[in-house]
Structure formats: C-alpha cells, structure tokens
Amino acid sequence: MSIQHYQSIFGNAATEVRQFNTLFVIFLVVCAVMYVAVIAFLIAGIARRRRAAEANTVEEGRHHESDPAMRTGLIAWGAVVGTGLVALAIASFVADRSMANAAAHEKLSITVTGNQWWWDVQYNAADNSKMVRTANELHLPVGVPVRIMLKSNDVIHSFWVPSLAGKQDLIPGRDTDITITPQKVGIYRGQCAEYCGAEHAKMALVVDVDSYPDFIKWWQHQLQTAPKPTTPLALAGYNYVTSRNCSACHAIAGTPASATVGPDLTHLASRRTLAASMPMSEGNLYGWVADPQSIKPGTKMPTIGLEPNELHAVVAYLETLK
C-alpha cells in the first residue's frame, strides 16, 4: 500500500505550526509591500528619463545638486524600512513567546535518539514495564501536548516533521527537546534536516496522530512480546533470526535476540515504513533483508548473503511480528 505522506509546512496539524502559518503570512505581506515599493521606485527611475535629450555628459555631471525632495525621500524610506522591521521583530517575539509558553505543561514524554540514518524512539513511562521501544515511527494522541527529548549517538541530526512543528537538532553531548501538540488526526512524514553523512537523505520518520483510544490500543499492543511463530517456514525463520547474524544487532522482545545496536524489531510488521525510507511491504522486506547495501549504500546493516530458502524463512518470520 503506497502511502502518500504529507511533508509540507502547510500541513497545519499542530498548534506550533499554526502559529508559524499566521506569522509567515504577516511576514510575506509586509515583505511584498516593501518589494512593490522598491520595484515601483525602480520603474519610475527607468521611465522618467527615457525622453531626456542626450545632454553633454561632462558638463551635466559636475554641477549637479540633488533636489531636496530626494533628501526627504531618503529619510522617509529609512523610517518606513525601520518601522517595518521593528513591527516584524515584535510579531516574531510574540509568536516565539506564545510557543515557549505552550511548552510548559506536557503530559507524554518520548525520547528520540538519532543514529546514523535511523531514529530510535522510546516512550518513557513511570514504571519500566510500560516502556515502549520502536524505530522510525511516532504515534501521538491528538490534542495531548508531548515533550520529545532529543539525543544523538553519533553526529548532529535534526528532528523535523514540517506539518507539526519547527525542527530541533539532536546534538551529541547536549540534551535538546521539542514540544508538539497535534490537533489533526493523520499521517505526517518528517525527515532529518541536518546533513549527517552518506544516507542523510533516507533518514525519514512517520508520525501517526491517532485519537486517544486508538493511541492507547496501539500502546497496549506494543507492550506485548513477539508472537511465537506457527508455520514451519516462520519457525525456520525464527531459528535463523534469533541465532544468526540478525541477533548480533537487533532485539525482539520474548526471544533470545536482545542486542540494541540496531532498531527494535518486536513489532516491525506493524510499522508504516521500513529502513526509515520505504513503505512497509513484502516486496520491500525481501529487497531490504536480501541486500540492504544496494538500497541504502553505506548503511550500517551488512549484506549477509542469505540463501533463497533462508531468505523466505526470515521474511516469513518477520511478517509475523505484527
């Protein structure tokens, strides 16, 4: 199922981005007025002398006193530009202030850790049994302000979902955070906005804004451990995944695989995207597991070189991880 994701600034799906839109319109109007004034003055200058005869150049240049009207024009222009900029600065401070205040009282806390070329998402909860760990995807309840703590394991990334809020960098050694209050249910796509190496272009994430009951249902589902495989093919896949290469980097709750080097795969098949860039589908799963280096050259996941039967088994098992 190809997902048409909405990554435009005018997605208008959260309070933060709505303030952005009003401020952006104010700035556009004032700047357009200034631009029209400049172009009008330019055209006036061009048209005005079109008819003047070719007077003697040298004589004309020397005794030229500019008429006083232009002096007042200069002062007026300076005043207009000055007040315009002061007005825009005040508008910007007001919007900035109201955004900062909105961030005061948030109810949900998530920690997003940036790695080279994927997002490690952790839902913080009071007791650890309620903690949920997923990757490249965020589920947010509509109307509930959420505070996202941003950390990085390697280089500087930038968390940016255009339809929800402004971007915020993830800097190793510094803790930054961002507050989002989604207002519209829907699927919104975001991308890393700070150049972070070979696969910076394929480090996307999807934010799923659900109604509160759906969100709770999703949370409960995420808390369950991975279902036991039933079909023999899935069982063969289970044996491969939990004993061979995959378990060196990935974790699947309820199985021996528990490495946190790579993303958590417990509910891989329930996610909308795969490898932070492609929609989740069987074809993409086959392509990615068989040879990740040809899809994201330079990514940390190696090309294992699975035999065809192993590949079918592994993909069959991964698809059971709903």
The whole-angstrom separation of Cα 98 and Cα 124 is 26
89-148 binders of another protein (CB under 8 A): 89, 91-93, 95-96, 99-100, 116
Residue list 137-166, contact with another protein (CB under 8 A): 150, 154-156, 158, 160, 162-163, 165-166
Work out the angle at residue 123's Cα, subtended by the Cα atoms of residues 161 and 4, and round it to the nearest 5 degrees: 35
Q: By CB under 8 A, which span of 32-40, 106-114, 131-139, 211-219 interacts with another protein?
A: 32-40
Q: What is the 3-state secondary structure (H, E, C) of 213-246?
A: HHHHHHHHHHHCCCCCCCCHHHHHHHHHHHHCCH
**Under the criterion CB under 8 A, does residue 67 sit at the interface with another protein?**
yes
**Cβ of residue 216: shortest distance to another protein, in angstroms?**
30
265 binds another protein (CB under 8 A): no
Please, are residues 110 and 71 in contact by the beta-carbon 8 Å criterion?
A: no
Indicate the residue among 61 and 308 with the shorter CB distance to another protein. 61
Residues 80, 69: Cα–Cα separation, whole Å? 16
Query: Could you tell me if 93 and 84 are in contact, meaning their C-beta atoms sit under 8 angstroms apart?
Result: no
CB of 91 to another protein, least distance (A): 8
Q: Which residues ranging from 168 to 187 are in contact with another protein (CB under 8 A)?
A: 168-169, 171-177
Cβ within 8 Å of residue 46, ≥6 positions away: none
Among 12, 24, 143, 269, which residue sits at the site for another protein (rule: CB under 8 A)? 24
Kindly tell me which of 131 and 155 has the beta carbon lying closer to another protein: 155
Q: Is 29 in the site for another protein (CB under 8 A)?
A: no
Which of 1/126 has CB closer to another protein? Answer: 1
End-to-end CA distance of the chain: 16
Answer yes or no whether residue 307 interacts with another protein by CB under 8 A.
no
